C-alpha cells in the first residue's frame, strides 16, 4: 500500500505560533538527527517565516524532499487562513511553491495537526489527535488514513467562544493553569462524547501542563513524535480519503 524510496531524506518542518522546528527523517520516519527549533518571527509573515526556516536549516545535512506542517487552512499547498500567524499575511500564498523555490526540493504543505497525526497514530480504528498550543488543532484518522478535516477549533464551545479562545495560549495566560485544566477536562468529555474515538493523542507545548490522570485510551505525544509524520506525506498511498485529506487539510 505504501512505499517510499529507501534512501529518501526528508526535511520535516513544524511551524508553530511560538517556534519553528525541523529535523531530517529517513524514509521510515525515523529521525536522523535531533530536531532543532528557532523562535517564530514577529510579524510571522511569509518572508519572515521563510527566512527563519532557511536560518534554521542552513547547516543541516542534504535532504531530498520537504514536508511542512502549517497552523492553518491549506489547500493544495496554498494557505487560506492562518489565525495564529496572521491571515492577512497568508491568504492565498502558494507556500508549497515558494518553499520549493527557496529550499530547492519538492515540498508538501499540510495542516500541522494532520502531519502530527500521521506521525503518532497506531493505524487501528478511529484515532483523534489534538494539539494544545497557541491554538487548538485536531486531526481524525481511520485505520491510519486521514479523514476530511473539521474546523473543530472554530466551533463554539462556551458562551460564544470557540476552542482557540477557550483553551488556547491566551486563555491559559488569562485564567491560570488550575482553571485551564478544568476547561480541558470539559473539552475532553465533549470530544469523547462527540467523536467516540478509539484513541486520543494529545500534543502541543501545553500538554505538559495537564494535572489530571488520563483515560487508558489517551496518550501525550511529543513534538519529536509528531514531526515524524513528514515522512508519510511522501509515501505512496492509494487510499482515496487520505489523498483528499492531505490536499485539503485545515487547522
Contact 142, 126 (CB under 8 A): yes
Higher pLDDT, 103 or 74: 103
- Whether the pLDDT of residue 249 is over 50: the answer is no
pLDDT-derived band at 240 (thresholds 50, 70, 90) equals very low
Q: Distance of alpha carbon 52 from its chain centroid, rounded? A: 18
Helical spans, DSSP H, in the chain:
46-56, 87-90, 95-103, 112-120, 163-167, 169-195, 223-227, 229-232, 240-247
Find out whether the peptide bond into 39 is cis, omega within 30 degrees of 0.
no
| Bigger pLDDT: 11 vs 113 | 11
Neighbours of 112 (CB within 10 A): 30
| Residues 145-190: tens digit of each pLDDT | 988 777 788 899 999 999 999 999 999 999 999 999 999 999 999 9
Give the residues across from 107 on adjacent strands. 66
**How far, in whole angstroms, is CA 231 from its chain's centroid?**
13
For residues 108 and 180, the answer to whether their CB atoms sit within 8 Å is no
Distances (CA, A) of 196 to 75, 188, 199, 250: 28, 11, 9, 21
pLDDT in tens, 83-124: 889 999 999 999 999 999 999 999 999 998 889 999 999 999
Least confident residue range of 6-10, 114-118, 129-133: 6-10
Bridge partners, residue 126, by sequence: 142
- Report residue 66's pLDDT band, with 50, 70 and 90 as the boundaries: very high
State the DSSP code for 48.
H
What distance in Å separates the CA atoms of residue 215 and residue 209, rounded to the nearest whole number?
16
CA-to-CA distance for 22 and 33, rounded, in angstroms?
10
Mean pLDDT of 68-72: 92
In this prediction, residue 154 carries a pLDDT of: 87
Q: What is the pLDDT of residues 21-53, one digit of tens each?
A: 999 999 989 999 998 999 999 999 999 999 999
For residue 136, what is the DSSP state? E
- What span, in angstroms and rounded, lies between the C-alpha atoms of 141 and 125? 8
Cell representation of residue 82: 492562518
Amino acid at each position: 500500500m505504501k512505499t517510499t524510496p529507501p534512501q529518501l531524506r526528508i526535511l520535516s518542518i513544524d511551524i508553530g505560533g511560538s517556534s519553528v522546528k525541523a529535523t531530517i527523517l529517513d524514509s521510515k520516519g525515523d529521525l536522523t538527527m535531533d530536531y532543532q527549533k528557532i523562535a517564530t518571527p514577529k510579524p510571522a509573515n511569509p518572508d519572515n517565516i521563510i527566512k527563519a526556516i532557511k536560518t534554521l536549516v542552513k547547516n543541516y545535512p542534504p535532504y531530498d524532499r520537504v514536508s511542512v506542517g502549517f497552523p492553518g487552512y491549506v489547500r493544495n499547498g496554498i494557505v487560506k487562513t492562518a489565525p495564529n500567524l496572521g491571515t492577512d499575511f497568508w491568504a492565498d500564498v502558494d507556500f508549497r511553491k515558494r518553499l520549493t523555490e527557496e529550499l530547492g526540493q519538492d515540498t508538501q504543505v499540510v495542516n500541522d495537526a494532520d502531519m502530527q497525526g500521521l506521525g503518532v497514530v497506531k493505524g487501528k480504528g478511529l484515532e483523534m489527535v489534538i494539539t494544545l498550543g497557541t491554538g487548538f488543532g485536531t486531526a481524525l484518522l481511520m485505520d491510519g488514513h486521514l479523514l476530511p478535516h473539521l474546523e473543530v477549533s472554530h466551533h463554539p464551545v462556551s458562551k460564544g467562544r470557540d476552542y482557540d479562545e477557550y483553551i488556547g495560549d491566551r486563555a491559559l495566560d488569562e485564567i491560570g493553569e488550575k482553571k485551564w485544566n478544568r476547561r480541558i477536562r470539559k473539552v475532553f468529555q465533549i470530544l469523547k462524547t462527540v467523536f467516540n474515538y478509539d484513541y486520543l493523542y494529545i500534543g502541543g507545548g501545553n500538554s505538559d501542563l495537564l494535572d489530571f490522570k488520563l483515560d487508558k485510551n489517551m496518550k501525550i505525544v511529543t513534538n519529536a513524535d509528531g514531526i515524524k509524520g513528514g515522512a508519510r506525506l511522501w509515501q505512496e498511498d492509494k487510499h482515496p480519503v487520505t489523498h483528499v485529506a492531505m490536499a485539503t487539510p485545515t487547522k
